[in-house]
A = this chain, B = another copy of it.
Protein backbone atom coordinates (compact mmCIF):
# COMPACT_ATOMS: atom_id res chain seq x y z
CA UNK A 1 0.00 0.00 0.00
CA UNK A 2 2.49 2.61 1.18
CA UNK A 3 6.21 2.42 0.47
CA UNK A 4 8.57 1.56 3.29
CA UNK A 5 9.83 5.15 3.14
CA UNK A 6 6.29 6.38 3.63
CA UNK A 7 5.64 4.06 6.56
CA UNK A 8 8.77 5.31 8.30
CA UNK A 9 7.91 8.89 7.40
CA UNK A 10 4.44 8.66 8.90
CA UNK A 11 5.69 7.09 12.11
CA UNK A 12 8.52 9.59 12.42
CA UNK A 13 6.23 12.54 11.88
CA UNK A 14 3.81 11.31 14.53
CA UNK A 15 6.64 10.89 17.01
CA UNK A 16 8.02 14.34 16.27
CA UNK A 17 4.52 15.76 16.74
CA UNK A 18 4.17 14.19 20.16
CA UNK A 19 7.47 15.74 21.26
CA UNK A 20 6.68 19.08 19.64
CA UNK A 21 3.46 19.30 21.64
CA UNK A 22 5.76 19.35 24.67
CA UNK A 23 8.01 21.97 23.08
CA UNK A 24 10.76 19.41 22.67
CA UNK A 25 13.04 18.97 19.72
CA UNK A 26 14.07 15.43 18.84
CA UNK A 27 17.19 14.05 17.19
CA UNK A 28 17.40 11.74 14.19
CA UNK A 29 18.90 9.06 16.36
CA UNK A 30 16.07 9.13 18.85
CA UNK A 31 13.45 9.13 16.11
CA UNK A 32 14.98 6.10 14.42
CA UNK A 33 15.04 4.26 17.71
CA UNK A 34 11.44 5.04 18.61
CA UNK A 35 10.21 4.28 15.14
CA UNK A 36 12.37 1.20 14.69
CA UNK A 37 13.74 2.38 11.36
CA UNK A 38 17.23 2.44 9.81
CA UNK A 39 18.95 5.65 10.88
CA UNK A 40 20.48 6.81 7.60
CA UNK A 41 17.41 5.94 5.57
CA UNK A 42 15.25 7.81 8.05
CA UNK A 43 17.54 10.81 7.64
CA UNK A 44 16.73 10.94 3.92
CA UNK A 45 13.03 10.74 4.57
CA UNK A 46 13.11 13.48 7.19
CA UNK A 47 15.13 15.61 4.82
CA UNK A 48 12.42 15.26 2.24
CA UNK A 49 9.67 16.03 4.76
CA UNK A 50 11.59 19.15 5.78
CA UNK A 51 11.85 20.28 2.15
CA UNK A 52 8.12 19.78 1.82
CA UNK A 53 7.55 22.10 4.78
CA UNK A 54 6.01 19.42 6.96
CA UNK A 55 8.70 19.37 9.62
CA UNK A 56 11.46 21.81 10.64
CA UNK A 57 15.09 20.77 10.98
CA UNK A 58 17.92 22.43 12.90
CA UNK A 59 21.61 21.61 12.73
CA UNK A 60 24.19 21.69 15.47
CA UNK A 61 24.10 20.85 19.15
CA UNK A 62 20.56 21.03 20.55
CA UNK A 63 19.52 20.57 16.95
CA UNK A 64 16.98 18.10 15.68
CA UNK A 65 13.51 18.00 14.26
CA UNK A 66 10.26 19.59 15.36
CA UNK A 67 6.90 20.67 14.03
CA UNK A 68 5.43 24.11 14.46
CA UNK A 69 2.74 23.56 17.06
CA UNK A 70 0.06 25.44 15.16
CA UNK A 71 0.60 23.14 12.19
CA UNK A 72 0.06 19.88 14.02
CA UNK A 73 -3.67 20.26 13.73
CA UNK A 74 -3.69 21.28 10.09
CA UNK A 75 -1.23 18.71 8.78
CA UNK A 76 -3.13 15.69 7.50
CA UNK A 77 -1.94 12.17 6.84
CA UNK A 78 -2.57 12.97 3.20
CA UNK A 79 0.15 15.62 3.24
CA UNK A 80 2.75 13.18 4.54
CA UNK A 81 1.86 10.42 2.10
CA UNK A 82 1.76 12.87 -0.79
CA UNK A 83 5.15 14.32 0.13
CA UNK A 84 6.83 10.91 0.10
CA UNK A 85 4.88 8.68 -2.29
CA UNK A 86 3.47 11.31 -4.62
CA UNK A 87 -0.06 11.15 -5.93
CA UNK A 88 0.02 7.93 -7.92
CA UNK A 89 -1.81 6.23 -5.09
CA UNK A 90 -4.54 8.88 -5.21
CA UNK A 91 -5.09 9.12 -8.95
CA UNK A 92 -3.30 6.20 -10.61
CA UNK A 93 -5.06 3.39 -12.47
CA UNK A 94 -5.53 0.20 -10.48
CA UNK A 95 -4.24 -1.87 -13.36
CA UNK A 96 -1.31 0.40 -14.22
CA UNK A 97 -2.61 2.17 -17.33
CA UNK A 98 -0.62 5.39 -17.79
CA UNK A 99 -3.48 7.34 -16.34
CA UNK A 100 -6.89 6.59 -14.95
CA UNK A 101 -9.49 7.86 -17.37
CA UNK A 102 -13.20 7.27 -16.84
CA UNK A 103 -13.87 7.78 -20.53
CA UNK A 104 -11.66 4.81 -21.40
CA UNK A 105 -11.73 2.83 -18.19
CA UNK A 106 -9.81 -0.33 -17.39
CA UNK A 107 -11.87 -3.33 -16.27
CA UNK A 108 -11.61 -2.52 -12.57
CA UNK A 109 -12.10 1.24 -12.87
CA UNK A 110 -15.62 1.50 -11.50
CA UNK A 111 -14.88 -0.79 -8.60
CA UNK A 112 -11.47 0.69 -7.89
CA UNK A 113 -12.24 4.39 -7.92
CA UNK A 114 -14.48 4.05 -4.89
CA UNK A 115 -11.79 2.41 -2.81
CA UNK A 116 -9.17 4.89 -3.96
CA UNK A 117 -11.40 7.84 -3.13
CA UNK A 118 -12.25 6.42 0.28
CA UNK A 119 -8.56 6.15 1.01
CA UNK A 120 -7.97 9.71 -0.12
CA UNK A 121 -10.83 11.05 1.99
CA UNK A 122 -9.64 9.12 5.01
CA UNK A 123 -6.12 10.49 4.65
CA UNK A 124 -7.40 14.02 4.12
CA UNK A 125 -9.58 13.82 7.20
CA UNK A 126 -6.98 12.35 9.51
CA UNK A 127 -4.98 15.02 11.30
CA UNK A 128 -1.53 14.61 12.69
CA UNK A 129 -2.97 15.89 15.95
CA UNK A 130 -5.28 12.96 16.49
CA UNK A 131 -2.58 10.45 15.56
CA UNK A 132 -0.11 12.08 17.96
CA UNK A 133 -2.68 12.22 20.75
CA UNK A 134 -3.49 8.54 20.37
CA UNK A 135 0.18 7.73 20.71
CA UNK A 136 0.77 10.01 23.67
CA UNK A 137 -2.05 8.57 25.75
CA UNK A 138 -0.70 5.09 25.08
CA UNK A 139 -3.60 4.00 22.91
CA UNK A 140 -1.41 3.26 19.90
CA UNK A 141 2.12 2.08 19.24
CA UNK A 142 4.92 2.75 16.77
CA UNK A 143 6.73 -0.52 17.20
CA UNK A 144 6.28 -3.89 18.78
Whether the Cβ atoms of B7 and A95 lie closer than 8 Å is yes
How many copies of the chain does the oligomer comprise? 2
Q: Which residue of B lies closest to A109 (CB)?
A: B140
Whether the Cβ atoms of B144 and A131 lie closer than 8 Å is no
From residue A142, how far is it (CB to closest CB) to chain B in Å? 7
B-chain residues with CB within 8 Å of residue A142 when the two chains form the complex: 95, 106-107
In A71-124, the 8 Å CB interface with B consists of: 77, 89, 92, 94-98, 101, 104-109, 111-112, 114-115, 118-119, 122
Of A98, A108, A139, most buried by chain B (CB within 10 Å of CB) is A108
Whether the Cβ atoms of B4 and A96 lie closer than 8 Å is yes
In A13-60, the 8 Å CB interface with B consists of: 14
**Which of the residues B4, B10, B106, B118 comes within 8 Å of A108, measured between beta carbons?**
B10
Q: Which residue of B lies closest to A8 (CB)?
A: B96
Q: How far is the CA of A91 from the CA of B57 in the complex (A)?
A: 35
Whether the Cβ atoms of B107 and A135 lie closer than 8 Å is yes
Q: How far is the CA of A108 from the CA of B11 in the complex (A)?
A: 10
Q: How far is the CA of A7 from the CA of B10 in the complex (A)?
A: 27
B-chain residues with CB within 8 Å of residue A109 when the two chains form the complex: 140
Q: A107-B134, A126-B111 are in contact. Are A94 and B2 (CB under 8 A)?
A: yes
